[in-house]
Structure 1
Amino acid sequence: MNNTVPAVYQGLWRRRLLTTPILRDDTTLVFWLQTAAWHADLRIPADRPDFSGCVTLSDCSRAQLLALLGQEGFAGVTLIDGDTCEWQRCVDYRPIGLRDLGRMVFSSTADAIEEYGVEAEYTERWERVEEGEGSVDVCWSTDARAQILWLRAGRRFMRVRDRPLADAESRKYWYRLHAGMASDDDLRRLADCEISFGEIAGQAGYILHSTLPWLEGQSLTLPIEMLALQTCSERK
């Protein structure tokens, strides 16, 4: 497999349609940001409830916590082999334990992709989003809790922070959830994972969509490394 993702993949994509043998979904909000190696993906259902009045997970009711855990998203390294794309997940909001491989068919103008499942039966249609001038790249930062992955495509960015759980702990809480035995605290531990999508204006970033809804509309300080990134055409 190729360790560098071809330029035609790089940038920001929005999913417009998912079809499976039992489902047609054109309402879930889905963004995929792809760099030369790393990707991030955010999926928010259209029926996610209102979170007005919530500013932390502690403010969420059980019903709200369960709704959060109906979201999806992931981030990791992308590998290309011919027309097959594999998204290797280093962070996974709702892990399913399966590989994620798609056969990719680009439109003649490379502004749309039909993705066909390789190990699962599905089709997704992706459309390229105009992201504005700027770099397509990735950097890391660290806060008091965790390492944070930042991806940028022009004026758009994604920020990813994994839940602060060891793999064994995570599996334990997911098992409790699927078995109907999870406490509210268990649900909060699982929902403590941020995948945010936003826009860059000057030296600041503004969150437009997030797995933590109360972050939406907030501004944040971008890493110096992200602001210093050069445009793709300037990188050697």
Structure 2
Amino acid sequence: MIEHIVPQRYQGVWRRTLLTAPEVYDDRTLVLWMQTARWHADLRIPADRPDCSGCTSLAECSRAQLLCLLKQEGFAGITTVNGTSCEWRRQMDYHPKGWRDRGEMAFSTCTRALDEYGIEADYAERWERDPASDQSGWVARSSSAAGPVLWLRSGKRFMLARPRAMDATETLAIWSRASANRASIEELRRLADFEISYGVITGDDGCILHSTLPWRELQSVVLPKNWSIDCAVGDLASGACLG
């Protein structure tokens, strides 16, 4: 039996159109949130992300490029809804900050727009549903040379999340050094080695449209063969942080 089913009106792909907070007005960052009946994935790419068109891997990125890439954000995990309160329990987190991600939610009457008001922090976000998604989400898992991959699918859209190969203690230590400008370039590469990608399904394959690894954009990917409807996906359902 599946527990904590997210109401269907939440399910699908949402694009953030506006963030407001004290001294913040942001309508330029690309923010995409895919929600199934249990799982979520979220990708956030700043509008001023550097041009990495000459790079094909993190090994080819300069220190300046890596520092700019590390301004991206994203996460994936289990979502729970209690009344009008929604919590995103992050099991993978590009930049973990140690606080709960909880929002008070208000849908428009047609459920194509959604307003989120921060509970743990002072902010407001406006979300709009992507018409190319639908409210029947699918989940899959695969393995890659870089580690385990969580896949979500909604209509003709998919997202994948593959965390960096570090435990939480090491991740936080290197983030601390990076914030103080004391991390080595190899440590910066290890931090940036975290993929969250969003794309469109074309036949049996997918094409990545947006990714935390810019050179992955417009690449074709082989989609999983075995999708499940909101089933637990191996160890990713344990609640352990994989960030």
Quick check: TM above 0.5?
yes
Q: 1:106 to 1:55 in 2, by over 3 A?
A: same
Match of 2:9 in 1: 8
Written as runs of structure 1 = structure 2, the 5 A alignment for 1:1-236 is: 3-132=4-133, 135-226=136-227
2:126 and 2:135 map into 1 onto residues whose CA distance is 25
Q: 1:182 to 1:101 in 2, by over 3 A?
A: same
- Contact conserved, 1:44 with 1:72, CA < 8 A, in 2? yes
Deviates more, 1:167-176 or 1:151-160: 167-176
Task: Specify every segment of 5 or more residues in structure 2 that has no aligned partner in the other structure, as ranges.
Answer: 230-243
Q: Secondary structure at the match of 1:224?
A: coil
> What is the TM-score normalised by the length of structure 2?
0.91
**Greater RCO (Cα-Cα under 8 Å, separation 6 or more):** 2
Q: Secondary structure at the match of 1:87?
A: strand
- Contact conserved, 1:134 with 1:155, CA < 8 A, in 2? no
CA shift at 1:211, angstroms? 0.1
- Contact conserved, 2:208 with 2:220, CA < 8 A, in 1? yes
CA shift at 1:132, angstroms? 5.0
CA shift at 1:180, angstroms? 1.9
Task: Specify every segment of 5 or more residues in structure 1 that has no aligned partner in the other structure, as ranges.
Answer: 231-236
Letter in 2 for 1:119: E
1:143 and 1:120 map into 2 onto residues whose CA distance is 36
Deviates more, 1:171-180 or 1:16-25: 171-180
2:134 and 2:28 map into 1 onto residues whose CA distance is 28
1:54 and 1:135 map into 2 onto residues whose CA distance is 36
Match of 2:232 in 1: none
2:110 and 2:92 map into 1 onto residues whose CA distance is 32
After superposition, the C-alpha distances for 1:180-220 in whole angstroms (9 at most, x for unaligned) are 21111110010000000000000110000000000000001
After superposition, the C-alpha distances for 1:39-63 in whole angstroms (9 at most, x for unaligned) are 0000000111100110010000111
The number of aligned residues is 227
Deviates more, 1:43-52 or 1:126-135: 126-135
- Contact conserved, 2:84 with 2:104, CA < 8 A, in 1? yes
1:40 and 1:22 map into 2 onto residues whose CA distance is 27
Identity %: 56
Deviates more, 1:107-116 or 1:163-172: 163-172
